[in-house]
Amino acid sequence: MEDGDGSRPDLAYRFPLPEVGDADIPDRGIRRPRVFRRPPARPDASTPRTASQPMQPCGPPQRAQPAGLRRSIRMVRVRSGTDRTSRERLAREAAMVRGSETLHGMFDGSGRALARNGAMRDALGAASGHFLDMFEEEDERRRAAAALRGGSAYRGLGRLRVRAGGPWYRIVGNWRTDPVSGEPALFVEAVPVNELREEAAHYRHLAETDALTGLLSRRAVLERLQELCGDRRARPLSVILADLDHFKRVNDRFGHAAGDRVLTAFARILREALRGDDLCGRLGGEEFLLVLPRTGPEAAAGVARRICGWLRTHLAAAADIPGDPLTASFGVSAFAAGDGDPRAALERADRALYRAKAAGRGRVEVEAAGPTRR
């Protein structure tokens, strides 16, 4: 039944609605827009607003997120951003290493290759599969092996097994952690240094060569002798100590320039008397050392006697020294079976040289120890 205005009085009677304001209506989950209203104007409008008078919200308050949830969301956002940055950085670093002309490699504690960039694989091929196989020179290979055994860093300048006459490399190796296995790994970087190749060879030549005579320096000839001492293929191994007689008289009478001419001529005669694999070096002053691999003491004494005769007839003329002939004394010895280093053989040769001086100079004396093969 409807009234004239279209309302239903029976429904109004059965379901009366209370007269309440908006503030009495309960919140049913409906979000109302929050309206910020300014507080009432202050008596002095020229005074600035203080922190105790913030903007006041209007409407039902929004439900705040728990502090722990807000912190977790913030941490996830930071972590995801950090992970993305790390992935991008690692991708750029990997691309940089792959495209570099510098040789990069990672090797485990035994020297086996774990990873190599394209430049190292292209330059060394199969030789890059092991750290020690990369080196062409034996000295650098020994130093690299010591770095592997001791877990120490490696620094070197040498030639790698790229090709004959290939460039020299500055090689740097540092121990880091393998990101895959977590074990220590040697990270190696080899940079071509072609511009230093001639300079390094020049300085090496200066270190190994006597400046006046062109023979091996004291250090170089003793190092070579030490290497031959441990090589069984060089046995029997003999040494000859040679010393110019009355050299001080030459310097005092004719001057140091004449003395230099005598030393130079003596060195030239020694070189001409030796074979290709024999060694000859200047120990200092007028004393020289000859090293004869695969030569017994008697054969070495024969070489010393030939040199002694040549000096008597040719040295003074070659050095343009007038007067009496110039001579030298020689002491010969050989390595014994139990000699582990050259000191014993050199001491025996020195005693033999002393006997030659005491017997009148211009002579050859031999002191052998133990059985030797000729």
pLDDT tens for 225-253 read: 998 888 888 889 999 999 999 999 999 99
Min mean pLDDT across 85-99, 168-182, 273-287, 311-325 is at 85-99
Cβ neighbours for 354, distance < 8 A, ≥ 6 positions apart? 331
Element spanning 354, H or E: helix 343-358
pLDDT of residue 160: 85
Before 66, cis peptide (omega within 30)? no
We report the CATH number of the domain holding residue 119 as: 3.30.450.20
Whether pLDDT at 37 is above 70: no
The active-site residue, picked from 140, 189, 286, 365, is 286
Q: Is the dihedral of CA 319, 321, 325, 327 positive or negative?
A: negative
What the block records as the tokens of 204 is 């090496």
In the structure encoding, which two tokens stand for residue 24, read together? 């009495």
Residues 182 and 223 in one domain: no
Mean pLDDT of the residues in the chain: 79
Q: Which is it for the CA torsion 353, 358, 361, 365, positive or negative?
A: negative
pLDDT score at 167: 72
pLDDT the model gives residue 65: 54
Can you say how many angstroms the Cα of residue 119 is from the centroid of all Cα atoms in its chain? 18
- Produce one character per residue of 183-192: b if its CB has 16 or more CB atoms within 10 Å, e if not: eebbbbbbeb
Q: Which residue, 125, 118, 112, 113, is CA-closest to 94?
A: 118
> Do both 152 and 175 map to the same domain?
yes
The residue with greater pLDDT, 43 or 294, is 294
Residues 294 and 344 in one domain: yes
User: Is 152 within a domain?
Assistant: yes
- Does position 285 have pLDDT exceeding 90, yes or no? yes
Query: For the residues of 61-92, what is the DSSP string, one character each?
Result: PPPPPPHHHHHHHHHHHHHHHHHHHHHHHHHH
245 shares a domain with 191: no
Q: Is residue 1 part of a domain?
A: no
The H helix count followed by the E strand count for the chain is 11, 12
Q: What is the mean pLDDT of residues 3-30?
A: 49
Phi, psi of 136 (to 5 degrees): -90, -30
Q: Rounded distance, CA 231 to CA 254, Å?
A: 44
pLDDT (tens digit per residue) in 329-356: 999 999 887 777 889 999 999 999 999 9
Residue 5 lies in a domain: no
The structure tokens listed for 337 are 């079976």
Question: What is the arithmetic mean of pLDDT over 2-9?
Answer: 50
DSSP state of 22: G
* Residue 43 maps to a domain: no
Least confident interval from 70-79, 172-181, 305-314: 70-79
Instruction: Decide: 369 and 333 in contact? Cβ < 8 Å.
Output: yes
Handedness of CA 303, 309, 312, 317 (dihedral sign): negative
Tokens of residue 211, six digits: 């400046």
Read off the pLDDT of residues 52-107 as tens digits, 9 standing for 90 and up: 555 555 555 555 555 555 555 555 555 555 566 777 777 777 776 777 778 889 99
Q: Total structural domains in the chain?
A: 2
Regarding whether 222 and 151 lie in a shared domain, the answer is: no
Characterize 66-95 residue by residue with b for buried, 16 or more Cβ atoms within 10 angstroms of its Cβ, and e for exposed. Answer: eeeeeeeeeeeeeeeeeeeeeeeeeeeeee
- In angstroms, the Cα distances linking 168 to 101, 142, 157, 204, 324 are 14, 17, 7, 14, 52
Structural domain of residue 120, as residue ranges? 99-198
Q: Is the pLDDT assigned to residue 165 strictly greater than 80?
A: no
In this structure, the answer to whether residues 187 and 271 fall within a common structural domain is no
Within a domain: 85: no
* pTM across the whole model: 0.51
Same domain, 213 and 355: yes
Q: Is 198 a catalytic residue?
A: no
CATH at 279 = 3.30.70.270
The lowest-confidence range among 38-42, 220-224, 256-260 is 38-42
